[in-house]
Amino acid sequence: MSDMPDKPLLSVLRGERRDPPPMWLMRQAGRYLPEYRALRADKGGFLELVYDPAAAAEVTLQPLRRFAFDGAILFSDILIVPYAIGQKLWFEAGEGPRLAPRLAEAALDDLTPALERLTPIYETVRRVKAELSPETTFLGFAGSPWTVATYMIAGQGSREQAEARTLAYRDPAKMAAIIERIAAVTVDYLSGQIEAGVEAVQLFDSWSGSLSPDQFERLVIAPTAGIVAQLKERHPGVPIIGFPKGAGGKLGAYARETGVDAIGLDETVNPAWADRELPAGLPVQGNLDPLAILAGGTALTDAAQRILDALAGRPHIFNLGHGIGKETPVAHVEQLVEFVKGQGARA
């Protein structure tokens, strides 16, 4: 008999079906928790929290103390990569992140790389790893090149990513150079997280849904495939989850061509359709609407049951279709966890 701890989430990422399915929630370490809000207020800001490894480790662990999650997700931010590439990064209260200089006007070569800005994140990983239950899978992450590029080009988030999409048409060589630089740093960044202790990683492509099919191939699938190939060469056996939010009908091509080990579904995807269209046996993660957990009650349990039923025949990690909202009541998270964990006899 093996004395290795049972890690349900990691086993699903490696292709095993588990009943009930393991679960974690995107943004589970964050602002819906009162203990997080208290710690952030004490530190004075988001970036100050990210760059304090002891505090960031505490935030990563906070939801595990409340809920029976099977995974811990590193507390950090996708914009750590452009910060390491050399842009200035700060957070405007109530408005979100800002980056300067904007690559819509500035040249990539104007930036002075500062890769030492990645080092505190690795220390956070080591601290979490030392305290994490052996049954809990530790997830690292990074933003995918296209999504990170949209922030670097516009200097902030934008709903339609018009500046980045326009640059891709007007100056494809500049866009390709930006994507290539992000991808190279991302491989090193995720490799550093793995070496420090994470057991699987997720690539967030939050803005992939804004692209035309041709741009999706060039700016999402191709760079993601390159990152996956390099990580698998460096760290064989470490699973990679791809989350191309908004990809819709392009999910099949993403799954076949990137080489990721699991696909995250956003809340707009019909899980029954995904089960039919995605490669047989490919682990799937998701995809409860974050507003369903905000609503709670029977709306929450009915929506969760539909997902459980649709994905009962393949490896499945229960999660949201995007990050948990800051107004979500803790009691609703408790309700969801209790419901999902009670599904083993019904699967």
In this predicted model, what pLDDT tens digit does every residue of 14-35 receive, in sequence order? 999 999 999 999 999 999 999 9
Number of H helices, E strands in the chain: 16, 9
Cα–Cα distance for residue pair 278/252, rounded to 1 Å: 6
Work out the average pLDDT over 209-228: 96
Work out the average pLDDT over 24-49: 94
Which residue type, as a one-letter code, is found at position 183? A
pTM value > 0.85: yes
- Predicted confidence band at 242 (pLDDT cuts at 50, 70, 90)? very high
What local confidence, expressed as pLDDT, does residue 274 receive? Answer: 97
Work out the average pLDDT over 326-347: 86
For domain 8-341, give the CATH number.
3.20.20.210
Which residue type, as a one-letter code, is found at position 154? A
Mean pLDDT of the chain: 95
Work out the average pLDDT over 156-172: 93
- Parse the chain into domains and list their residue ranges: 8-341
Work out the average pLDDT over 204-213: 94
DSSP 8-state secondary structure symbol assigned to residue 108: G
What's the maximum distance between 2 C-alpha atoms anywhere in the chain? 61
CB 144 within 8 A of CB 187: no
Work out the average pLDDT over 260-286: 97
Q: Which residue has the higher pLDDT, 2 or 65?
A: 65
Q: Kindly report the backbone phi and psi dihedral angles of residue 178, in degrees, each rounded to the nearest multiple of 5, phi listed first.
A: -65, -45
Torsion of CA 335, 340, 343, 347, to 10 degrees: 150
Work out the average pLDDT over 43-50: 92
Query: Which of 46, 27, 328 shows the shortest CA–CA distance to 206?
Result: 27
Work out the average pLDDT over 294-317: 97
What local confidence, expressed as pLDDT, does residue 2 receive? Answer: 57
Q: At residue 347, does pLDDT exceed 50?
A: no
Cα separations in angstroms, 262 against 219, 286, 326, 341:
20, 11, 27, 21
Work out the average pLDDT over 197-203: 98
